[in-house]
Amino acid sequence: MIFEKRTERILVPMFFVVTLFVPLFLESNSFFVDKVTTIIILSIFVMSLD
């Protein structure tokens, strides 16, 4: 099984659900949306360097 601990089985799906709904609350403030987008793009770039 991927998640062996009980906390992992609960917190990881909750994290993904929360991250799906965060842009709905940040829609009015484009500065934070731009920063989060930049962070995501750079993190994908960093993961590809491995």
How confident is the model over 4-41, as pLDDT tens digits? 777 777 888 888 888 888 777 766 778 877 888 899 89
Predicted local confidence at residue 3, as pLDDT = 66
Residue 42 has pLDDT above 90, yes or no: yes
pTM value is 0.47
Q: Which residues contact 1 (CB under 8 A, 6 or more apart)?
A: none
Predicted local confidence at residue 41, as pLDDT = 92
Predicted local confidence at residue 6, as pLDDT = 79
Predicted local confidence at residue 45, as pLDDT = 93
In the chain, where the domains are located:
7-49
CB 1 within 8 A of CB 9: no
